[in-house]
Amino acid sequence: MEKDPLLAGVLAWLVPGWGHYYLGLRTRAAIYAVCIIGMFVLGILLGQFENVQPKRHDWSFALQIFAGVPTFLTAVLVYNRPVPPGLGPVSDLGMSLTLIAAALNVFLIADAFTVAALRARARQK
């Protein structure tokens, strides 16, 4: 059954690894999900939930959106949460991890889209 490349890309954006799961690449999807979501959650924990707040870090949040649903869930949970005192280098590391996870998910989105498109093209020949 032919899979829609656009749907694969959107699913990969919503939940890291979900686009590959949709394409039938179950093992790859599980590895991607564990790595990307795990890195994102570790970054949130190191940043004490402060680093995913759209009203405080607007540009960072704009990039973190590429991590999909985990970003939105975290933003909703911490929207009116006060900023904890004494944040320093560990919080900066947390911010870096969330941004790296989002950047890596951009590659997964492109990969899911490309795999689906290449399969569709191969079936047309």
Rounded (10°) CA dihedral 80, 75, 73, 12? 170
Distance of CA 11 to the CA centre of its chain: 11
Mean of per-residue pLDDT scores for the chain: 91
31 neighbors 12 (Cβ within 8 angstroms) = no
pLDDT of residue 114: 96
- Predicted confidence at residue 54, as pLDDT, reads 82
Please state, in angstroms and rounded to a whole number, the distance separating the CA atoms of residues 48 and 84.
7
112 pLDDT exceeds 90? yes
For residue 55, the model assigns a pLDDT of 79
pLDDT at 105 over 70: yes
Ordered by start, the domain boundaries in the chain are 5-124
**pLDDT for the residue numbered 84:** 65
Tokens at 82, concatenated = 């006060």
User: Rounded to a whole number, what is the distance in angstroms from the first to the last CA of the chain?
Assistant: 15
pLDDT tens, position by position, 33-60: 999 999 999 999 998 888 888 877 888 9
pLDDT per residue as tens digits for the range 85-101: 666 788 889 999 999 99
pTM recorded for the entire structure: 0.88
**69 φ/ψ sector (left φ>0, alpha ψ -120 to 50, else beta):** alpha
d(CA 93, CA 55): 20
Q: What is the mean pLDDT of residues 68-79?
A: 90
- Alpha carbon distance 12, 108 (integer Å): 7
The pLDDT value given to residue 85: 65
